[in-house]
Structure 1
Amino acid sequence: MADDAMIENKTFDEIRIGDRASLTRRLDEKDIQLFALVSGDVNPAVLDSAYAATDMFRHVIAHGMWGGGLISAVLGTELPGPGAIYLSQSLRFTRPVGLGDTITASVTVTEKRAEHHVVVLDCRCANQNGEDVILGEAEVKAPTQKVRRPRATLPDVRLSDHDRYRRLIDKTAGGEPVATAVAHPCSAAALLAAIEAAEANLIVPILVGPEAKIRQAAEEAGKDISFLRLVAADHSHDAAGKAVALVRAGEAKLLMKGSLHTDELMGAIVPSATGLRTERRISHAYIMDVPGHPTPLIITDAAINIAPTLEEKADIVRNAIDLAHVIEIETPKVAILSAVETVNSDMQSTLDAAALCKMADRGQITGGVLDGPLAFDNAISEAAAKEKGIASPVAGKAEILIVPNLEAGNMLAKQLTFLGGADAAGIVLGARVPIILTSRADSLRTRLASCAVAVLMARAATKAAPGVTQAASA
């Protein structure tokens, strides 16, 4: 076994005055998050990256982590090493430590006391510029028995920080909030979703529904809605129709689902004469933020199209590619999923996948790179794709996953959410305006991300055709 895979101590008799050991680490955001997780300290000054890296509280946290942590690591693994017993530690913080700083922690033996085998060490932490940031002294009881053993393997700790959603929301900063018709926000959760998005400067909600129920929901949520426009409706069906009418009249640029059923809202959207249909098939997409996965995953369709035909799947792909462009995926890699990665005449999903890829080859679907059929593993794992001998620009690197049917999409999204810790921001595409679908189970982060995506799409449509609604351009 290589020497760097082993850990060996220095006994009291082996230690000499002037002996020195050190290690170097870089302080990043996840170190701060791990500290908060272990300590239970959720002060925003620690966790919110919007706070300046020079915030004094963050400096104190960094000093504590790295002074107590790095120095302790040197003492426990290098000098004296395994078997050492910490007796005391003093630290003096001489200079701030910021995110991105590279800190070298070192200890130097200054004194030995034969009684009780005590060793005194000078402790020092310096930044990448050689400037001292921590000074101190430690007393340890050195081991008397020699120890040499394999280094322990640290656990793989993954933090579900969902930073991609924060970046999505950040992209909306600086723009005007978008007028949004909220259909039947008659529960505290539904109303909160709209108000939180308004407080984040994403939307200007127009509340559509029975006035008494909306005001009761506001009271339950503890929110003031006096500053919001309220359009009275008799019931949920009427609220859906009136919300759609506001969009058709140009008074709202987005539509948001409240506490009514999705089917009821879609019933008001799909009629050609009075709804929000375009030449495109309407479809649903989740933008999944999956911990540990390097990019967002767009999964479609998990909520609207039960068993889409080949032509419907083509529109579902087009809608997803348009969405990917809005979130700045320039040429999205689109995997057409099935249970296998070869064409099988007994499996319609594999035939559809092959046909969709040929449609892309012939220019019927543009803006992305398609491949399929692909099984889920070789769509997102390069190792799995290589094991199967699949050579493809999409395999292992997919950014859009097109599922065979609603059941598969719904199960995939929920498995990633409830087993994989993913967040799922939902949006309906292909209508005259983006439609925001939120759930009572959604976190604030997910609700805001759904609204942010819709706002980005609405702004992109306005830039593409200034003064023209998405309906006219579709």
Structure 2
Amino acid sequence: MPATFDIHDKASVGERHRQLLEATRGHSPIPTAIVHPCDAPSLSGALAAWHEGLIEPLLVGPRGRIEATAEKLDADLDGLRIVDTPHSHASADTAVRLAASGEARALMKGALHTDELMGAVLKRDAGLHSERQMSHIYALDVASYPRPLLITDGALHIQPDLTAKRDIVQNAIDLAHALGLACPRVAILSAVETVNPRIPSTLDAAALCKMSQRGQISGGELDGPLAIDNAVSVAAARTKGLDSAVAGRADILVAPDLEAANMIAKLLIHLAGAQAAGLVMGAQVPIMLTSRSDDVATRLASAALACLVVLHEDNKP
């Protein structure tokens, strides 16, 4: 089994990301297709993850552009495989084929649009579909919160229906398991903590909790609807008279829609100084949807998450 860390340790900002890296030590790097690494941020992030022993990069993109980018970075690509493609769409299709064939155990987005990569991944004949819909999970290290915080889905599902939300919740629980948390506490968010027929997200929250009770969602403790203060503040939950294992102590925040999840995550990143990582789960391989603005620390943490997911899957009975 991969090493784990104390998920409830009150570590300083950045310390849990360091612990993520340490949790992968002693394990072989995972073959990872880097999709179109034709700019400095994407190529340098992939090379940093390689030097940390997290991944074995397969550089998928136009050879000339990759080599020119490496030259600008004064980076040595000796020993790395470059899969030459003519353009970004071909890079995405080729990387997906490598993952579907088992040559790559993970995908990392490079200098192309998310829609290009996910369009290739989501093709019915691509071979990366599982029994679940795919969803994105932010993993945030927030100084004022005593545990890592997973937020979903802020990247893929614009207005998920109940079926999609079921998969979004299960994907987040699976990522929490890979991080070493046996029974993550899942808060299903809305604007209020009571069921109100005029607020559809409260009805979905109640239904998801019932689905968990009936075994349609497994491996976590669900509560909802919860307003965000009642999800992350014990004091706020007590003031409202909420008594549950989740209220005030959530490990996972499930937002009503993409806009809410994206806003919560980015507010924490830009106003609270949270360090971020993230993965798409629900495919046959984990997918790192890195952004051009992501720094090396974020790219390393996302690669470490992908490693832990692969190791967790490999060690399942």
TM-score, normalised via structure 1 length: 0.64
| Contact map agreement 1:189 1:221 (CA 8 A) in 2 | no
* Distance in 2, Cα, partners of 1:339 & 1:450: 30
Alignment of 1:16-415 (within 5 A): 161-415=13-267
The SS at the match of 2:231 is helix
**Which residue pairs with 2:269 in the alignment?**
417
| Contact map agreement 2:277 2:299 (CA 8 A) in 1 | yes
Give 2:62's aligned amino acid.
P
Offset of residue 159 of structure 1: 9.3
- CA offsets, 1:366-424, max 9 Å, x none? 10000000011010000001111111110000000000000001110000000000011
Using a 3 Å threshold, how does the CA distance of structure 1 residues 276 and 159 change in structure 2: closer, same or farther? Answer: closer
Which structure dedicates a bigger proportion of its chain to helix? Answer: 2
| Contact map agreement 1:208 1:243 (CA 8 A) in 2 | yes
* Distance in 1, Cα, partners of 2:14 & 2:144: 10
* Distance in 2, Cα, partners of 1:306 & 1:223: 39
Using a 3 Å threshold, how does the CA distance of structure 1 residues 169 and 159 change in structure 2: closer, same or farther? Answer: closer
Give 1:443's aligned amino acid.
D
The SS at the match of 1:165 is helix
**Which residue pairs with 1:63 in the alignment?**
none
Offset of residue 444 of structure 1: 2.0
Offset of residue 443 of structure 1: 2.5
| Contact map agreement 1:178 1:203 (CA 8 A) in 2 | yes
| Contact map agreement 2:13 2:141 (CA 8 A) in 1 | no
Identity over aligned pairs, percent: 55
- CA offsets, 1:52-71, max 9 Å, x none? xxxxxxxxxxxxxxxxxxxx
- CA offsets, 1:173-209, max 9 Å, x none? 0010111011100101100010000000000000001
* Distance in 2, Cα, partners of 1:338 & 1:275: 35
Offset of residue 464 of structure 1: 2.2
* Distance in 2, Cα, partners of 1:349 & 1:438: 29
Give 1:272's aligned amino acid.
R
Offset of residue 440 of structure 1: 2.5
TM-score, normalised via structure 2 length: 0.95
| Moved >4 Å (runs of 4+) | none
**Which residue pairs with 1:426 in the alignment?**
278
The SS at the match of 2:67 is helix
* Distance in 2, Cα, partners of 1:159 & 1:349: 33
User: How many residues matched?
Assistant: 308
| Contact map agreement 2:13 2:275 (CA 8 A) in 1 | no
* Distance in 1, Cα, partners of 2:299 & 2:243: 38
| Contact map agreement 1:268 1:275 (CA 8 A) in 2 | no
Offset of residue 426 of structure 1: 1.0
Report the RMSD for the aligned CA atoms in angstroms.
Answer: 1.3
The SS at the match of 1:464 is coil
Q: Which has the higher contact order (CA 8 A, sep 6+)?
A: 2
Using a 3 Å threshold, how does the CA distance of structure 1 residues 159 and 354 change in structure 2: closer, same or farther? Answer: closer
* Distance in 1, Cα, partners of 2:65 & 2:157: 31
Which of 416, 441, 451 is the equivalent residue of 2:303?
Answer: 451
| Contact map agreement 1:197 1:203 (CA 8 A) in 2 | yes
Using a 3 Å threshold, how does the CA distance of structure 1 residues 333 and 159 change in structure 2: closer, same or farther? Answer: closer
Give 1:231's aligned amino acid.
V
Which structure dedicates a bigger proportion of its chain to strand? Answer: 1
| Contact map agreement 1:277 1:430 (CA 8 A) in 2 | yes
- CA offsets, 1:12-56, max 9 Å, x none? xxxxxxxxxxxxxxxxxxxxxxxxxxxxxxxxxxxxxxxxxxxxx
**Which residue pairs with 1:54 in the alignment?**
none
* Distance in 1, Cα, partners of 2:316 & 2:221: 23
Unaligned ranges ≥5, structure 2: 1-9
The SS at the match of 1:371 is strand
| Contact map agreement 2:190 2:226 (CA 8 A) in 1 | yes
* Distance in 1, Cα, partners of 2:278 & 2:72: 25
Give 1:175's aligned amino acid.
H
